[in-house]
Amino acid sequence: MKTEKEQLGKYILKSNFASILKTEIHRRNITGRKKTTYTDLYEEIAEHTGMTPNMLMVMKQGNANPSLPNALAIADYLRMDVNDIWSVEMNDEYVDDRSRCIVNRCNRLEFVKGLCQSHYTEQRREEKRK
């Protein structure tokens, strides 16, 4: 199955949604009397999930991702595990270039003035004591 990938910084979201819909339509057209179209399938899924058919079409095209509740509802309708439709992986090419606390061996993200939140709060308390 072809997967669509979306870079999410530290993570990569993979979507098999388009190929799963294509497979579902193909399965229905082989086994059913009436020809099923994407529009028919969008409307059925939309009715089950409370989403709009247009939003499902946008997701199929890879231009949007579902919220977790919507992803679970879609997976429920398709009788699949949500992880078979969407998955999240670590991005090996991600470089975290955010500033870090200047206190030795702290390595927490900078909050303000080169310090993490803990060290900044500690510094403010010391200043108030003086």
What tens digit of pLDDT does each residue of 57-85 get?
Answer: 999 998 999 999 999 999 999 999 999 99
Do 105 and 86 fall into the same domain?
Answer: no
C-beta separation of 27 from 13 below 8 A:
no
pLDDT band at 4; cut points 50, 70, 90: low
Whether the full predicted model's pTM is greater than 0.75, yes or no, is no
Rounded Cα–Cα distance for residues 17 and 21 (Å): 6
How confident is the model over 86-103, as pLDDT tens digits?
998 888 777 777 889 999
Do 86 and 103 fall into the same domain?
Answer: no
Do 65 and 124 fall into the same domain?
Answer: no
Q: What is the number of residues in the chain?
A: 130
Domain that holds residue 49: 4-90
Do 116 and 82 fall into the same domain?
Answer: no
| The total number of structural domains that make up the chain | 2
Count other C-beta atoms under 10 Å from residue 1's C-beta.
Answer: 9
Do 9 and 70 fall into the same domain?
Answer: yes
Do 128 and 69 fall into the same domain?
Answer: no
Do 105 and 66 fall into the same domain?
Answer: no
How confident is the model over 10-58, as pLDDT tens digits?
888 899 999 999 999 999 999 888 899 999 999 999 999 999 999 999 9
CATH number (domain holding residue 84): 1.10.260.40
Do 86 and 102 fall into the same domain?
Answer: no
pLDDT band at 2; cut points 50, 70, 90: very low
